[in-house]
Amino acid sequence: MTGTLLSATMFFTLGMVLLIWPLTGLLKQIPNLTDDMLERTEQMIRLAGMGIIFIVVLYAAYKIARIKSIRYEISADRIEWVRGIFSRKIDNLDMFRIVDIKLHRSLLDCILNVGTLTLMTKDQSTPEFTFEKIANPKSAYDFIKTAALSSDRKQGVIHVD
């Protein structure tokens, strides 16, 4: 969300500048601009500022809602992934299908205690399953690794490369 929030702040500031900044002095320097045209131009600039602010707020709200709508349920036997704002989509992945697990954390991720887990699987519909920016990623990594190995033993699965 950091990139989204930074760009939203930048465009929101641009919209506020267009909305609040007095541009009459700059517009009067344009030759052959009548007072009526000057007034309409100022109105259009302010309208553009309001439009930018409106679009930025909607975009940021959508991104936040999309992230907040994602739910992961991890049990000893399977992972269920629920997502969707206006409709729900549910996928699941059996633990015995997991072949490899990767954990990635940038410096900012380490500071915020989040990370990205990527699971390599033998599942036809989901050969690579990614948990984006989850909290406490190391404990999730350890739990999934232990659960996958336990499920492999329970199911009698041997992964062959």
Tell me whether residue 160 is in a domain: no
Domain count for the chain, please give it.
2
Percent of the residues in the chain that have a pLDDT greater than 90, as a whole number: 13
- Please tell me whether residues 59 and 113 are part of one structural domain: no
Q: What are residue 104's DSSP bridge partners?
A: 116
Beta strand pairing call for 98-104 and 89-94: unpaired
* Structural contact between residues 39 and 23, judged by C-beta atoms closer than 8 angstroms: no
- Please tell me whether residues 77 and 145 are part of one structural domain: yes
pLDDT in tens, 68-117: 888 888 888 888 888 888 888 888 888 888 888 999 999 988 888 889 99
End-to-end CA distance of the chain: 37
Domain range spanning residue 144? 73-155
Kindly report the backbone phi and psi dihedral angles of residue 69, in degrees, each rounded to the nearest multiple of 5, phi listed first.
-85, -10
Q: What are residue 119's DSSP bridge partners?
A: 101, 129
Tell me whether residue 140 is in a domain: yes
Residue type at position 57: V
Query: Which one, of 88, 101, 86, lies nearest residue 145 by Cα?
Result: 101
pLDDT for position 1: 66
The arithmetic mean of pLDDT across residues 12-22, rounded, is: 82
Percent of the residues in the chain that have a pLDDT greater than 70, as a whole number: 94
The arithmetic mean of pLDDT across residues 4-21, rounded, is: 83
| SS3 of 101-158 | EEEECCHHHHHHCEEEEEEEECCCCCCEEEEEEEECHHHHHHHHHHHHHHHHHHHCCC
Tell me whether residue 42 is in a domain: yes
Write the CA distances from 48 to 17, 36, 116, integer angstroms. Answer: 11, 18, 38
- Please tell me whether residues 83 and 44 are part of one structural domain: no
Q: pTM for this structure?
A: 0.63
DSSP 29-72: TSTT--HHHHHHHHHHHHHHHHHHHHHHHHHHHHHHHHHHT-EE
